[in-house]
């Protein structure tokens, strides 16, 4: 292994590489960007110009000859296992985008190969590096919140159309499932970071509007082995909300993950405390707007993750998000969810249904994957853009059965 900064290569130069990994590598103090690979030569050309990379490859296997210490895998989910296996068998450490793999069996196999080849395998979950989350964790570890009573990790947002127009996101075979494999996995990471190993999981959710063929809303209750519970609440159906609440016997920490603010109350809340907290939130948001971090926070979070990983590669310590950690959480929620999904979805008002339909009409039905599904007859005319959308809600299990 080289001395000084580690040399990294990136496989896949789509949105997450452009917005997270590549700028994160440019900011990293411990790792330098040495090469990139992508199937699309145009994407490679643009990436090379934007990030000043000399070495570009259309086949990632050719990139592996570059004596790299670390390879970032930023390709569609169904390719993670195969490419990570090739890289590890080549003797290189890997940072794999979430989810580690599309199936638990593949993820276990990856962990086994990492052990056999003695390389570091780490999953990319960058939201734990939000400074307010780190501060809350420091308070918790120092005992300032007391014993854990309960947690809430909530993320409601739009379907990822504004992020990428890649079709694999809408194919459960390729994505590995719905919302849990996508944003749910990030919030689960935060629950596990505080709560530790899980004893029992119960969950509910599904294809809430019955139109997508994958889970768009999931709620899960985790009971931690060490005591306390964590509630996961994620959907692709509502206006934006992203927060983490940690309730302990000696205090409460609330992280607003949109504004990166932390409210810590060790006795009770009062108006003055809330006023100063809100004032601090406005000031720090203003600062983040001025230094542009507010609009693009991923580079800083990825730089922190990359530096943390580099430290563990150099010192031989376990990586920040190990393969073993990545496996049980998603498996538990998925397997717990199916039986619970038999229940009726919560009642919604006509106003909610109309709001959802408007949002869907504006975004989803314009997407090529929706038209493809219509052409294949998966969504008959009259159920979508070309007709009236049914206002009856339906809950569908991941195996496609109505429940």
Ligand X SMILES: NC(=O)c1ccc[n+]([C@@H]2O[C@H](COP(=O)([O-])OP(=O)(O)OC[C@H]3O[C@@H](n4cnc5c(N)ncnc54)[C@H](O)[C@@H]3O)[C@@H](O)[C@H]2O)c1
> Which parts of this chain interact with ligand X (CB under 6 A)?
11-16, 37-40, 43, 60, 74-77, 79, 97-98, 124, 126, 163-164, 166
Minimum distance from CB of 182 to ligand X (Å)?
6
CA separation for the pair 215, 181 (Å, rounded): 10
If the CB atoms of residues 183 and 221 are measured against ligand X, the closer one turns out to be 183
Nearer to ligand X, 180 or 395 (CB): 180
Are residues 65 and 75 in contact, defined by beta-carbon separation less than 8 angstroms?
A: no
Min. distance of Cβ 48 from ligand X in angstroms? 13
Peptide bond into 99 cis (omega under 30): yes
Residue nearest to ligand X as judged by C-beta position:
14
Tokens 């927060």: give the residue.
243
**Measured between alpha carbons, how far is residue 349 from residues 10, 14, 148, 353, 395 in Å?**
47, 39, 36, 6, 16
Closest of 302, 288, 293 to residue 23, by C-alpha: 302
- Residue with Cβ nearer ligand X (76 or 384): 76
Taking the complex as a whole, the smallest distance from the CB of residue 23 to ligand X amounts, in Å, to: 14
Q: How far is the CB of 309 from ligand X (least distance, A)?
A: 14
The sheet carrying 6-11 orders its strands as 55-57, 31-37, 6-11, 70-73, 93-97, 121-124
Beta strands in 157-285 (DSSP E): 198-206, 217-224, 229-235, 241-248, 252-256, 261-265
With beta carbons less than 8 A apart as the criterion, state whether 61 and 36 touch: no
Minimum distance, C-beta of residue 18 to ligand X, in the bound complex (Å): 8
User: What is the sign of the dihedral through the CA atoms of 7, 127, 60 and 107?
Assistant: positive
CB atoms within 10 A of CB 61: 13
* CA 276-245-184 angle, 5° bins: 130
Shortest distance in whole angstroms from residue 384 CB to ligand X = 24
- For residue 340, the minimal CB distance to ligand X (Å) is 25
Give whichever of 60 and 194 is closer to ligand X, judged by the CB atom. 60
Q: Minimum distance between the CB of residue 43 and ligand X, rounded to whole angstroms?
A: 5
Smallest gap, in angstroms, from Cβ of residue 58 to ligand X? 8
Residue placing its CB nearer to ligand X in the complex, 329 or 384: 329
Q: Which residues pair with 227 in a beta bridge?
A: none
Compare residues 23 and 76 and give the one whose CB is closer to ligand X: 76
Q: What DSSP string describes 307-341?
A: HHHHHHHHH-PPPSSBHHHHHHHHHHHHHHHHHHT
* Nearer to ligand X (CB atom), residue 74 or residue 201: 74
| Cβ proximity to ligand X, 309 vs 341, nearer residue | 309
- CA dist., res. 370 & res. 378, Å (int): 9
Alpha carbons 398 and 403: distance in angstroms, whole number: 10
User: Which lies closer to ligand X via its Cβ, residue 109 or residue 390?
Assistant: 109
């Amino acid at each position: 292994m080289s001395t000084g900064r580690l040399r990294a290569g990136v496989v896949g130069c789509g949105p997450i590489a452009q917005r997270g990994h590549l700028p994160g590598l440019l900011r990293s103090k411990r790792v330098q960007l040495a090469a990139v690979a992508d199937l699309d030569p145009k994407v490679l050309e643009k990436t090379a110009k934007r990030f000043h990379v000399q070495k570009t490859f259309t086949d990632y296997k050719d990139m592996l000859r570059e004596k790299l210490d670390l390879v970032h895998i930023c390709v569609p989910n169904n390719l993670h296992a195969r490419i990570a296996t090739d890289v590890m068998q080549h003797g290189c450490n890997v940072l794999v985008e979430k989810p580690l793999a599309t199936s638990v069996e593949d993820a276990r196999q990856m962990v086994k190969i990492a052990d056999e080849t003695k390389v570091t395998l780490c999953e990319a979950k960058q939201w734990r590096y939000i400074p307010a989350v780190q501060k809350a964790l420091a308070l918790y570890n120092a005992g300032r919140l007391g014993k854990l009573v309960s947690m809430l990790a909530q993320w409601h947002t739009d379907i990822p159309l504004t992020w990428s127009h890649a079709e694999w996101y809408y194919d459960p075979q390729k994505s590995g499932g719905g919302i849990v494999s996508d944003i749910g996995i990030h919030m689960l990471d935060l629950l596990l970071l505080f709560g530790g190993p899980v004893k029992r999981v119960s969950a509910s959710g599904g294809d809430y509007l019955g139109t997508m063929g994958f889970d768009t809303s999931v709620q899960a209750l985790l009971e931690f082995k060490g005591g306390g519970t964590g509630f996961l609440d994620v959907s692709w159906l509502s206006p934006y909300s992203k927060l983490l609440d940690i309730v302990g016997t000696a205090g409460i920490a609330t992280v607003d993950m949109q504004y990166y603010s932390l409210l810590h109350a060790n006795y009770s809340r009062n108006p003055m405390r809330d006023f100063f907290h809100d004032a601090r939130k406005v000031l720090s948001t203003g600062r983040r707007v001025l230094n542009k971090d507010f609009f693009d926070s991923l580079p800083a979070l990825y730089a922190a993750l990359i530096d943390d990983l580099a430290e563990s590669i150099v010192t031989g310590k376990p990586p920040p998000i190990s393969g073993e950690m990545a496996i049980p959480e998603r498996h538990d929620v998925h397997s717990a969810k199916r039986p619970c999904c038999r229940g009726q979805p919560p009642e919604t008002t006509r106003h909610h249904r109309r709001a959802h339909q408007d949002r869907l009409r504006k975004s989803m039905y314009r997407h090529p994957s929706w038209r493809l599904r219509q052409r294949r007859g998966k969504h008959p005319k009259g159920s979508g853009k070309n007709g009236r959308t049914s206002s009856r809600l339906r809950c569908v299990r991941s195996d496609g059965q109505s429940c």
